[in-house]
Amino acid sequence: MNRTLFYICCCLSLLAGTIQAQENSVQIYDGTTLKVGDVIQAGYKPSTFQYNFIKAMTGNYLQNYKEDIGLSKLEITGIKNTDRTYTSSVKEATLTVREVSTGKEFFIDINNAIEKGEVVAKPAQRLYPDAKFLSDDLLLALTLRVNKLPVTDKEVLFLISLKDKDLYQKCKANEFEFNSVKAEYTKQLEDMMNNFNFTLTYYIDNQVVIDKYDFTKNGYPINFIEHQHLGFMKYGDYNFAFTSYEPSRFVPVTQEYGNEVNKRRQARSSYISNIAYGRFYFNALDKMTEIAKSDIMNMERLYRKTLIGADLVGVEVYDFKHCDYNFIGSVK
């Protein structure tokens, strides 16, 4: 009788522990709360191999998921606290989620996943959803056009490298191969130059420096001008000269959301990085940009082949280089 009673008590105790481990909601390290029934989004796979904190059952084993489910909607069906600590004050929690489109089940270590971008903390908020990405081939055509530069073999080879990597290698190795396609790709480039659409709003993604939160103005000062005396923003091998950029160097953010942003960006680090990423929206100018003269350097020679003039019309700021989620703020 005593042995039976002891067995029942043990089962009840185990059941109570299981029930206690299952939660209806959890507060994650940035201060936000997730609940059973909420729909979250998966982030991009951090490497070519697998997610590190999103897992799925393979047979009888729980394994890191290898397929990219970036931006898929995931409904939270269960929340379980674990014995593992994320920080000294935050315990890791495992979410059970169901992919809305397929019904597939995943298990997510939520704090780690948000820190590494495997789960979206804050979706993108686009200022210009229909803006066109200024790709490398368009950049080349635009730069040549506005600076009235000749189309040489160097530019044609660069266009080939963007369009066809295998053909580019053949052209580099064999001058006859290049000569056989030179006229075709020269015409492509000249057509892109002549037909460039200056009525569209374009965008590029570029690194910014983000300063500490300004409690007087309620927001974050940002800087993206590398050549301060010239006012140029460096973008790869190119330089953008914006007609006006000072109003875009401060991103308004409420103190409540700023606190969340700081916690998210700091995560388990002892400091908050001053590196963030901006999506820059602009209208390209169909004219040659003037360059300030210098008694020391030949500024025309240094910058003319890389300079693009533009009207900056908006900036969005994000945690990650792809600028697709973990939105910080924007200015227009």
Q: What is the pLDDT of residues 204-263, one digit of tens each?
A: 999 999 999 999 999 999 999 987 778 899 999 999 999 999 999 999 999 999 999 999
**pLDDT of res. 48:** 84
- Answer yes or no: is pLDDT of 128 > 60: yes
**pLDDT of res. 51:** 97
User: What percent of the chain stands above pLDDT 70?
Assistant: 92
CATH topology (fold) of 2-115: SH3 type barrels. (2.30.30)
Report pTM: 0.90
Give the mean pLDDT of the chain: 92
**pLDDT of res. 295:** 62
Q: Report how far apart, in Å, the C-alpha atoms of 43 and of each of 108, 116, 225, 274, 281 are.
A: 12, 9, 30, 22, 24
**pLDDT of res. 227:** 75
- Helix/strand number for the chain, H first, E second: 8, 18
Which is nearest to 281 in space by CA: 53, 149, 125? 125
pLDDT mean over 1-26? 54
Phi/psi class of residue 219: alpha, beta or left (left: φ > 0; alpha: ψ in -120 to 50)?
Answer: left
- Answer yes or no: is pLDDT of 86 > 60: yes
Q: Which range, of 83-92, 129-138, 153-162, 282-291, averages the lowest pLDDT? A: 83-92
Based on its alpha-carbon atoms, the radius of gyration of the chain, rounded to whole angstroms, reads 26
Q: Is 282 exposed, middle or buried (0-12, 13-18, 19+ CB in 10 A)?
A: buried
Q: Report how far apart, in Å, the C-alpha atoms of 300 and of each of 254, 282, 297 are.
A: 43, 24, 9
- Answer yes or no: is pLDDT of 14 > 70: no
pLDDT mean over 61-87? 95
Q: Are 181 and 160 in contact (CB under 8 A)?
A: yes
Dihedral sign computed on CA atoms, order 202, 204, 209, 214:
positive
Pairing of strands 275-284, 238-242: unpaired
Locate the domains of the chain by residue range.
2-115, 149-194, 197-331
pLDDT mean over 12-21? 44
- Answer yes or no: is pLDDT of 15 > 60: no
Q: Which parts of 89-173 are beta strand (E)?
A: 91-99, 105-109, 132-133
Q: How far apart are the first and last CA of the chain?
A: 76
**pLDDT of res. 19:** 40
**pLDDT of res. 266:** 96
